[in-house]
A = this chain, B = another copy of it.
Amino acid sequence: MRFYNNPVKEEWPEIMKRPGFDTYELRDKVQEILDHVKSEGDQAVMEFTQRFDGVKLSSTEVSKEEFNQAEKSCPQELKKAIQVAKNNIEAFHKVQFEEKKVMETMPGVKCWRKCSPIQKVGLYVPGGSAPLFSTVLMLAIPAQIAGCSEIVITTPPQKDGSIHHAVLYAAKLCGVTKVVKAGGVQAIAAMAYGTETVPGVYKIFGPGNQYVTMAKQLVSFENTAIDMPAGPSEVAVIADDQVPVSFVASDLLAQAEHGSDSQVLLITTSKKLSEEIEEELDRQLKKLPRAELASKALENSSTVYFDSMDEALRFSNEYAPEHLIISASNNVDLGDRITNAGSVFLGNYTPESAGDYASGTNHSLPTNGYARNYSGVSVDSFIKKITFQKISQEGLKNLGPIVEIMAEAEGLQAHKNAVSIRLEQLNSEG
């Protein structure tokens, strides 16, 4: 990790630079795959799966038997853990539903909002080096709470053409029985356009590599919504001198092991911690199976020392980390001053991995500085809020003249007329 001592504001952008990739170069390549799936459907999906994943499938559908087999293969202990996680995530997300509040803005003018589920949604669960059943929970649970009527999961098959048992177990536990063996751009295309076996959906969720991200952004040009743009995962840890260095190092490494393009920042007011962190990272790193990935990620990473906690907070808010751990004595107060972050973990006993899996919060979060302008996934992400209004005859008498004046001033005579024609009738009735 690089080290910075009280960097001045002009230095910040350089320290905060994310490991990037040039998405524009990918665009044409990704568009080609999208177009091919759009016109050829399942056949194209299976061709790309063979080409990119090296797996030859005769069908992309996960069968009932495969679900049953998965339930048998999944270890009991893991099933129980998944159940507990599900309960916590459900509890946290259930309270996110907004109650209907009818508001009378003027006598006789009633307005309200109704939450209505997005009917068809697609959840992308990446494959790669780990079976990400936790992502199934994080996406399927809020989709179910929102009441989405059609939920499809796409996830790349393993080398033998199967889907990992924990992924299928989690899907079924969340009531999702439509799982499609497809990953990458072809999976996004199948969900955006629909194929013979995959329903076209209105919104696509889930993390992915730069190809998946580009595919999501491109289909968002064509009527499909997406949860958010995505980049490599990242964490910032704000720490003072009351936290054991071993805790801090373990949190940084938990993030770093995601991939060589992950980024971790230690923002500290402790000279001691800033001096001891490297050695502790080395010590813990040696024992990790994914040490190589993690050590590459640390090369994109920095320790930033500040004399002042105020400056440390300003730095963090400017960086807008996906995950922010605050290991400091007054962590709750400091948390209140956070303006840009995806999810915040307060205190020495709140490691990020708790939220990644099981505490209840969602782990689908804005990366790459998008915490400045996006929220993480929640029940909100799976609903639309439709506004309603009902105006009584009395209400229109109160409000109508206002509308007439404004419409006239905007030069929209027919807008005015829609009010006038009604007011005239009301007045003629007496």
Contacts and interface: CB of A to CB of B under 8 A. Distances in A.
Contacts of A412: 130, 254, 257-258, 290, 353
Given A361-B111, A386-B343, A391-B347, A254 B82 contact: no
A389 interface: yes
Contact of A419 (B246, B351, B369): B351
Interface in A74-98: 75, 77-78, 81-82, 84-85, 87-88, 91-92, 95-96, 98
A45 to B, nearest CB: 23
Interface in A368-394: 368-376, 378, 380, 383-393
B407 A250 contact: no
A221 B400 CA distance: 42
Interface string A400-427: 1111011101111111111101100110
A350 B415 contact: no
A290 B414 contact: yes
B254 A354 contact: no
A331 to B, nearest CB: 8
Interface string A329-350: 0011001101111111111111
A389 B84 contact: no
Interface of A: 23, 75, 77-78, 81-82, 84-85, 87-88, 91-92, 95-96, 98, 101, 103, 105-106, 109, 111, 113-114, 116-119, 129-134, 166, 202-203, 217, 220-221, 223-225, 229, 244, 246-247, 250-251, 253-254, 256-258, 284, 287-290, 294, 331-332, 335-336, 338-362, 366, 368-376, 378, 380, 383-393, 395-396, 399-403, 405-407, 409-419, 421-422, 425-426
B375 A409 contact: no
A interface: dominant SS: mixed
Residue picked from A396, A403, A406, A418, most chain B C-beta under 10 Å: A418
A372 B109 contact: no
Contacts of A258: 412
A360 B109 contact: yes
B202 A372 contact: yes
Contact of A387 (B109, B116, B288, B376): B376
A115 to B, nearest CB: 9
B130 A410 contact: yes
Given A119-B372, A405-B78, A389 B415 contact: no
B294 A354 contact: no
Given A202-B373, A343-B387, A344-B386, A354 B399 contact: yes
A395 B418 CA distance: 60
9 contacts: A224-B373, A244-B425, A250-B418, A257-B415, A344-B386, A344-B388, A351-B422, A358-B403, A380-B380
A312 to B, nearest CB: 18
B224 A353 contact: no
A388 B331 CA distance: 11
B221 A217 contact: yes
B254 A418 contact: yes
Nearest to A388: B344
Contact of A133 (B111, B353, B385, B409): B409
B111 A356 contact: no
Contacts of A96: 113
A412 B290 CA distance: 8
A242 to B, nearest CB: 14
- By Cβ-Cβ distance, the 5 closest A-B pairs, closest first, are A105-B360, A225-B373, A351-B418, A88-B105, A353-B415
